[in-house]
Chain A
Amino acid sequence: MSDVKTQALAETMGGAVPDDTCKDCSRREFFAKVGMGALAVAAAGAGLFTYEFFSPNVLFESAPIIRAGKPDQFPANTVTLDAQSGIYLINGVKGFYALGAICTHLGCLTAWKSELDLIACPCHGSRFNRDGIKVAGPAPQPLPWLKVWLAEDGNLMVDRSATLNEPEYVKV
């Protein structure tokens, strides 16, 4: 294509000069590229649309904050599993604390074995002590420590979405 034609093409495109790859291309090639570009944009949009559609915006799942109960429900030196919320509330020597009860291996619900003084996972045999430290099995991480506080109404509250990096105890 002559330079005059290229210049005319650039003017019809609002002054944008076609890039080097299309300097010598025919009208047919140019429109084919525009068409392919439009299809690519449409495909990307369809992909995004699909991803958005399949990601629910509202979930009917249980709230992360749990009312665990009054402190006197938990006798001294005991580990109590709340299977519904997937947490342990532990009344230890230094005070109350909570651990997530979901195994860090593949997400099974663990159980407290008082006769072994261990938390055990039924799926693949991981075991943790009452501080959440792994003592056996394939679990890659310790059980998470969760934020615990005493609400004004005297209930112990646990936030399952707030994991602690350092052990914290609630004294009552």
Chain B
Amino acid sequence: MATTIKSEFKRLRNTEVWRTIFRSGSGSSNLHRSQAVQQNIFLHLFSVKVRSRALEFSPTWYLGALTLSTFLVLIVTGILLMFYYHPSVPQAYADMKDLQFVVASGVFLRNLHRWSAHAMVFLVFAHMFKVFYRGAYRPPRQFNWVIGVFLLLLTLLLSYTGYLLPWDQLSFWAVTVGSNIAKAVPLMGKQIRFLMLGGNEVNANALLRFYVLHCVILPLAAILLVGVHFWRIRKDGGLYVPEKKKL
């Protein structure tokens, strides 16, 4: 049985359709394997070869990969939540309640989105502490650290903009307070708050602006920077893995 599946798969990999999609062919030589990575738009961000030590738990605690996992969960659940959410006043609050009590699996998806968001903020910080205390930010990886700082900012902004969307008392006052903190910027604070809220009070305009930021602009920016972040790992010589100390 297993050999049948194996030989069928081998036949499939030699069909013309498969070969037009994956050009590297069915061989398993080092050349074939590296081409399979290099010629794939998603995989080519990564190294063809990594040291086996880099795949162990201790150098990274897998914190970056876990952060990516929560981000992917957030994208999937977030897109699903968008199908039942209108960013308007007062419909937003009712839709949030419908997701909890009416929509099939709605409460599961909403809570998954919420807990993944909390986990992502935690994991981003943990990842950065791990990178910092191991000294993995040092040359030649300085620029990837800077990209990471921007990704931290994007993560926090995504959290903050998502906080308004349930349109309940907690989110309303949190954004009232947050936008007043933005107003404390010297000279242009008032204009910043006005642009942020699309008015002088937390209102329908503010809800719509936060929605567009949360669902379109910030995720696209994050996806772009995550791509650069992974590509830079390869360009900077792979994950930072110090030699094991000889006892």
Binding site for B on A (CB under 8 A): 51, 54-56, 59-61, 105-108, 123
Contacts and interface: CB of A to CB of B under 8 A. Distances in A.
Nearest to B202: A107
A159 B181 CA distance: 25
Given A55-B195, A106-B181, A107-B176, 7 more contacts: A54-B195, A56-B198, A59-B199, A59-B200, A60-B203, A61-B201, A123-B173
Interface of B: 173, 176-177, 179-181, 194-195, 198-201, 203-205
27 contacts: A51-B195, A54-B195, A54-B198, A55-B194, A56-B198, A56-B199, A56-B205, A59-B199, A59-B205, A60-B203, A60-B204, A61-B199, A61-B200, A61-B201, A61-B203, A105-B180, A106-B176, A106-B177, A106-B180, A106-B181, A107-B176, A107-B180, A108-B173, A108-B176, A108-B177, A123-B173, A123-B177
A56 B201 CA distance: 13
Nearest to A51: B195
Contacts of B179: 107
A71 B176 CA distance: 32
Nearest to B205: A56
Contacts of B200: 59, 61
Contact of A107 (B177, B194, B204, B205): B177
A51 B198 CA distance: 11
Contacts of B201: 61
A76 B154 CA distance: 53
